Amino acid sequence: MDQMEPSVVARIEGRAGLILMNRPRALNALDQGMIDALAEAAARFRDDPAIDLVVLEGAGGRAFCAGGDVRAIRTAALARDSATIERFFSSEYALNGMIAAFPKPWISLIDGVCMGGGIGVSVHGSHLVVTEHAMLAMPETAIALFPDVGTSHVLPRLPGANGAMGKWLALTGARLHGAEAVEAGLATHHVPREMLAALRDALLAGDATVVERFAAAVPPGRIEAERAAVERCFAPDDIASITALLTAEDSDWARAQLAVLHRMSPTSMVVTLELLRRGATMDLPACLEMELALTRAVTHHPDFAEGVRAVLVDKDNAPQWKPAAVGAVDPAAVKAMFAG
């Protein structure tokens, strides 16, 4: 990308408002400027009677949006710059709420990586379209954050029993490839990459129902094959019970999940389960408020800076969590985090 190119390109074609997230070298990760530009474009297209729908895409061919710029948030946290952190998350969550309340179809075309903040700008819209090259995940527990951008509302409501699918995705950061995202309930349609340009052109007429014409059937796949085990093992709201069930499951899949959980921040996992438990009974605006309050405590917890360091800065993938074990996490301290 030329340095002079804007990080968000918004234009009108036909009856459609087209928005392109345009930081391909950063995998279109959302920084403050992008969030502000996305909100401005969304408001403009919302209020323009000549626009019937919005199409959101990511530039570069590798990613729709790989998340938020958490390295910048870590830098602010280490500097005790609470104002920068507050502005970032409050404006990002306001954008998520705006998309959820958008009065026109909001259609995201996902052909590549979509994580964290990328899910936040897509999952609350009317159509979340994935190609076979899409990969969706909420990997926040690996950096000691928590599933945010309104997913505390979305994840507990995924199809299935006991909110287990959402807990599994949130705790493990499991990656959903292509049509698996439709199986799990995070995406609405699967369209092959070779059909994506034709779908985009068809949408310019302003009729969102054309998505159905391009969508491919999603036969049962990996998610359906794993659903029963997910619902058995991730039904509880506490890590100790989930771990015990996975151990009793005694399968290759269960052992793989245990290995993943052992790498995650213990504090983050406890916070995440409490977040989803609360979010299951709250509407989206209340969930976004809860998440914003939680960012104030979690970003200043030592695990956050350490997790981002291990995964994104030094990339040694060897975080030193404090505390290092789930049993040592103080429930009262976790409860206090939710007070903001």
Catalytic residue among 17, 68, 116, 166: 68
Residues in Cβ contact with 258 at an 8 Å cutoff, skipping those fewer than 6 apart: 243, 246, 247
Catalytic residue among 148, 183, 274, 291: 148
**3-state SS assignment for residue 271:** helix
Catalytic, 140? Answer yes
Q: Quote the CA–CA distance of 21 and 315 in Å, as a whole number.
A: 25
Q: Quote the CA–CA distance of 14 and 303 in Å, as a whole number.
A: 48
pLDDT digits (tens, 9 = 90+) for 257-278: 999 999 999 999 999 999 999 9
Catalytic residue among 140, 183, 226, 274: 140
Catalytic residue among 97, 117, 160, 279: 117
Q: Quote the CA–CA distance of 299 and 71 in Å, as a whole number.
A: 11
What is the pLDDT at residue 3? 54
Domain boundaries, the chain: 8-337
pLDDT digits (tens, 9 = 90+) for 288-335: 999 999 999 999 999 999 999 999 999 999 999 999 999 999 999 999
pLDDT digits (tens, 9 = 90+) for 76-100: 999 999 999 999 999 999 999 999 9
Catalytic, 148? Answer yes
pLDDT digits (tens, 9 = 90+) for 133-172: 999 999 999 999 999 999 999 999 999 999 999 999 999 9
pLDDT digits (tens, 9 = 90+) for 32-74: 999 999 999 999 999 999 999 999 999 999 999 999 999 999 9
Catalytic, 238? Answer no
Q: Quote the CA–CA distance of 181 and 134 in Å, as a whole number.
A: 9
What is the pLDDT at residue 4? 74
For the chain, the helix, strand and coil percentages under 3-state DSSP, each to the nearest 5: 50, 15, 35
Q: Quote the CA–CA distance of 123 and 179 in Å, as a whole number.
A: 15
What is the pLDDT at residue 1? 45
Catalytic, 178? Answer no
Q: Which tokens sit at 180?
A: 């698996």
Q: Please tell me the class of the 8-337 domain.
A: alpha beta
Q: Which of 175, 180, 207 is nearest to 104 (CA)?
A: 207
